[in-house]
Amino acid sequence: MAFFSCLAWLYVAGRLWQDAENRKVLTNLLYKNSLQRPKILTVEDKLTVLGCRDLERRIVEAEMELTLAKSQGYLNKQLQQSGSSSGKKLLAVIGVYTGFGSRLKRNVFRGSWMPKGDALRKLEERGVVIRFVIGRSANRGDSLDRNINEENRSTKDFLILEGHEEAQEELPKKAKFFLSTAVQKWDADFFVKVDDNIDLDLEALIGLLERRRGQDGAYIGCMKSGDVISEEGKPWYEPDWWKFGDEKSYFRHAGSALIILSKNLAQYVNINSASLKTYAHDDTSVGSWMMGLQATYIDDNRLCCSSIRQDKVCSLA
């Protein structure tokens, strides 16, 4: 009986030891599997996820509001405070497009409708800045750039667009560079683009702008539209003619000779210049930018330079 009792005890002890080892192995396997299985979210975890989603939604809404504010011409505080170099609110900045080979034209302007020297500074005291607008040569620092720098040191009446290459094929982009540079340099109610082939009645233009002062969203000019030229090689050819529909007609836009934008429209161009599409001509490019905005189109026949009106503001030079 003692012998059989010992055998029974050894058997039971062996089974218990084997079961303990099996339980240990199973416990390790279950632990490893639990690490690989998805975590069961508690109520607190679910609330955290919902909070993140709510925060993400509010971020998206804030970004949409910021985009809307930018589209309406609002700038960040730093840019708004840049203003003009004198800190004075101006009526207008007038940019006269010019080129490297147009020195004779510039001299003619300086002797006619455009003041020079002390008279130019007195005009700025009245709130009107006039500058010849030009980019840089494709070969930076060459004789073309040096001649412009030398002329500017003498006359101090240039706005040099450092990021713009002065070339005929780059002319549509010049409007973006001019408006972006001018709106950061001066705090003015209006920004005016003028071609170098017209003469201005400067006092009449100032009077026109004075009467419009404080009007946001003003897009002023000699409004026109016309056929889109789709035949390559013809004057005024538009490579993107197919974008203008079956009738191939341009939308309403201010003619190239003289274009006036209020401050908030110029700010819009500055903010969004990187994404604004340009077409073959600068006036249709500016017109396309205005189409998606709450701009007030002001068609003024006095700004039609080829008009026969006696009280016109500009005339062909």
Q: Give the CB-side neighbour count of residue 170, counting CA atoms within 13 A.
A: 17
Domains of the chain by range and CATH?
2-71 (no CATH), 88-316 (3.90.550)
pLDDT in tens, 150-207: 999 999 999 999 989 999 889 899 999 999 999 999 999 999 999 988 999 999 999 9
The answer to whether the CB of 245 falls within 8 A of the CB of 165 is no
By residue count, the chain amounts to 317
* Residuewise pLDDT in 10s, the chain (317 residues): 877 777 777 766 666 666 666 667 667 766 666 655 555 556 666 566 666 666 767 777 776 666 666 555 554 444 444 444 556 789 999 999 999 999 999 999 998 999 988 999 999 999 999 999 999 999 988 999 999 999 999 999 999 999 899 998 898 999 999 999 999 999 999 999 999 889 999 999 999 999 999 888 999 999 999 899 888 888 889 998 888 877 788 899 999 899 999 999 999 999 998 889 999 999 999 999 999 888 999 999 999 998 888 889 999 87
Kindly report the pTM of this predicted structure: 0.73
User: What CA–CA distance (Å, rounded) separates 15 from 9?
Assistant: 10
Buried b or exposed e, range 231-245, using 16+ CB within 10 angstroms: eeeeeeebeebeebe
118-125, long-range: CB within 8 Å, 24+ apart, which pairs? 120/156, 120/157, 124/86, 124/90
DSSP assigned state of 105: H
Helix orientation angle between 263-272 and 171-185, rounded to the nearest 10 degrees: 110
User: Which residue from 190, 185, 183, 188 is spatially nearest to 267, judged by alpha carbons?
Assistant: 183
